[in-house]
Amino acid sequence: MLLEILIGGLIALKEYVALHVVTCLIPAFLLAGGIIAFTSRDTILKYLGAKAKNIISFPLAAISSIFIAVCSCTVIPVSAGIYRKGGAIAPAFILLWVAPASNILAVIYTGNIIGYNMAVARIITAFVTAFVMGTVMYLSFRKEEADRMVEGEEGGNNDKKIIAGKDIILLLLILFSLLSPNYLITKGPYLYKVYVFAISISITFLYACLTIKKDRIFNWLKETWWFVKLIFPLLLMGVFIVGVIGKILPQQWIEHWLGGNSLRSSFLATLIGAVSYFATMTEAPFVDTLMKLGMGKGPALALLLSGPGMSLPNMLAIIKVFGFKKASVYIVTMVILATISGWFWGNYIF
């Protein structure tokens, strides 16, 4: 029995990791490293910290989330910083919600494991709910904010660009080498994908060597290596645990509580995601395993949304930084939003 469980874990490792390392994980890490190395996060944060109108700051916060943090651990100080430095409350909480829910590594991995429609759903929902989240936070704390904003500082001048033109091209090339093997080659042996990947990544590196200075390329690779060192062991461990859980959990139990697309299933899935800690990316194989055991698509989306952004230790950190009142409004809103999103997509779109 025990042996069977362990083997389950190992098989999961082989399925999820081995098949994805070359054509998915390597370019995904390169892309994440590139975003960190080539974009000026300081400049983005300055824009967000400025006293911008809601019409501008809401979408700006949502879009720039992609570039700022890759895992939930780094987003709390960033979001707290925007809030404390005079930025409005809404962008800070939008960032807190969207950055982990739609972070680039996890979305790409979701697309590869569960299917691209789930990845698209994840991004769209994260963005749409971000606006709701921002509005709720803005309306709930409007009065408090009006007093506080007086002390806030001006956003000031930005002379530094967010990203240089040739760096954008490099990031797009990495994105291409990430997507091309998986979407150009949908049939045939895995080796074909590797060929396509080899060609596109060679072009990427050739471009990098020709146009970008050596020390910046080196810096990019260094940042990439950090991600690999940080996330890869967690991913291996997470996937193994997911494999084991898949063997232990009774299928009937999952079908009963998480099957279908009812509000209750979505709510339970949201709660599982909100309470437990998922290292970046591990939520994808976890959800995939639960889906194979009978979880509905709606609840799956709900779990993907709440999983990476929220966990018990995370909640404590948010309470500590923003205070109990704001944190509670945020957490309750998040649970409601994820539940409704799961229910909505499950019943009307998937």
Which ranges in the chain belong to alpha helices (H)?
2-13, 26-38, 41-49, 54-68, 72-84, 89-101, 104-113, 116-140, 142-149, 165-184, 190-211, 214-248, 251-258, 263-275, 283-292, 297-309, 312-322, 324-344
Least distance to other proteins, CB of residue 56, Å: 20
Q: Which is nearer to other proteins, 216 or 247 (CB)?
A: 216
Q: Which is nearer to other proteins, 81 or 294 (CB)?
A: 81
Q: Which is nearer to other proteins, 103 or 112 (CB)?
A: 103
Find how far residue 96's CA is from the centre of its chain.
11
Least distance to other proteins, CB of residue 77, Å: 5
Least distance to other proteins, CB of residue 223, Å: 8
Q: Which is nearer to other proteins, 74 or 158 (CB)?
A: 74
Least distance to other proteins, CB of residue 42, Å: 7
DSSP 8-class letter at 260:
T
Q: What are the two backbone dihedrals, phi and then psi, of residue 103, each rounded to the nearest 5 degrees?
A: -65, 150
Q: Which is nearer to other proteins, 114 or 231 (CB)?
A: 231
Q: How many C-beta neighbours within 10 Å does residue 206 have?
A: 11
Residues lying near other proteins in the complex (CB under 8 A) = 41-42, 45, 73-74, 76-78, 80-82, 84-85, 226, 229-230, 317, 320-321
Rounded alpha-carbon distances, angstroms, from residue 268 to 21, 150, 295: 32, 42, 11
Q: Which is nearer to other proteins, 164 or 263 (CB)?
A: 164
Q: Which is nearer to other proteins, 71 or 201 (CB)?
A: 71
Least distance to other proteins, CB of residue 70, Å: 12
Answer whether 151's CB lies under 8 Å from 78's CB: no
Least distance to other proteins, CB of residue 84, Å: 5
b/e map 316-330, b = 16+ CB within 10 Å: ebbbebbeeebbebb
Query: What does the block give as tokens for 328?
Result: 């509670």
Least distance to other proteins, CB of residue 240, Å: 21
Q: How many C-beta neighbours within 10 Å does residue 165 have?
A: 8
Residue with tokens 């720039």: 64
DSSP 8-class letter at 161:
-
